[in-house]
Amino acid sequence: MATAGAKPRRTVLIVLLIVGAVLALFLACAGGVGAIAYYAFKSGGEEATHLVDELFGSIAAGGDATYYQRRTSDGFRQAASPEVFAQLCELVRTRLGKLESSQQESLVMRQNNLDQFLDARFKARFEQGEGRIETVWQRRGGEPWRLHNFVVKSPRLLDAMSSRACPHCGQQAPLDARFCPHCGKAIEAGEAPQTDAVEAVDEADADEAANPK
Ligand SMILES: [Zn+2]
């Protein structure tokens, strides 16, 4: 009687142990994979923050021509000429000033054949206003990350695209204004600001983001 009762109990115990072991193993694996994924995510996030600081540091210091040559991807340089990049940087420099702080909003890492992409978006505070920074970085093999896509969204930049500096007083006047609302002097037509160039970058970026190479 005792042995008959003990046998199924032992079986149950063994089954429980096996299930327990399998569960423990599974948890260990999941925990391990989770930890690795989390580590990659965390280090990617720190890396993206560092990359964005470097980019905006270069812009603020007027070093964007060097940055363009050394730190952008082939795809970026195909989509945006040095002039277009310089104009966009000038706009950020004059309209937003230095990047004071950035807070990461999203981070996505993806692999496409030999290329790794890091899609990082930030909420940003600049010296002269708030905005959003959207970046995509590309890395091939063991090379460093390169800027692949770069969009700055800010009400102050939108203002800049729909207005221009008055040649007499330097204040902002609407694009279609014939007289400056600040000093009242006539504004010559022409000398339109770099609206087209900035939009060209945005379109190129949108294509790149939709169909990364
Ligand atoms: Zn004026």
Centre a 10 Å sphere on the Cβ of residue 101 and count the other Cβ atoms it contains.
10
Give the residues across from 106 on adjacent strands: 121
- Mean pLDDT across 33-61: 78
Residue identified by tokens 């795809």 is 75
Ordered structural domains, the chain, with CATH: 16-154+199-210 (3.10.450.590)
Of residues 190 and 141, more confidently modeled: 141
Listed residue (79, 97, 207, 208) closest to 152, CA to CA: 97
Residues lying with their CB under 5 A of ligand 1, a single-atom ion: 166, 168-169, 180, 182-183
pLDDT digits (tens, 9 = 90+) for 93-138: 988 999 999 999 999 988 888 889 999 999 999 999 999 999 999 9
Which tokens in the block code for residue 128? 């002269």
Distance 179 CA to ligand 1 centre (A): 8
Centre a 10 Å sphere on the Cβ of residue 110 and count the other Cβ atoms it contains.
11
Distance 197 CA to ligand 1 centre (A): 25
Q: Residue type at 38?
A: Y
pLDDT on residue 170? 85
Indicate yes or no: pTM above 0.75: no
The residues, ordered by sequence, that sit 6+ positions from 194 with a Cβ below 8 Å of its Cβ are: 87, 88, 90, 91
pLDDT on residue 178? 84
pLDDT on residue 164? 78
Binning pLDDT at 50, 70 and 90, where does residue 195 land?
very low
Of 85-94, 98-107, 180-189, 198-207, where does the model show the most confidence? Answer: 98-107
Rounded Cα distance, 163 and 175, in Å:
5
Distance 96 CA to ligand 1 centre (A): 21
| Contact assessment for residue 82 and residue 65, using Cβ atoms and an 8 Å cutoff | yes
pLDDT on residue 122? 95
First to last CA, the chain: 73
Distance 167 CA to ligand 1 centre (A): 7
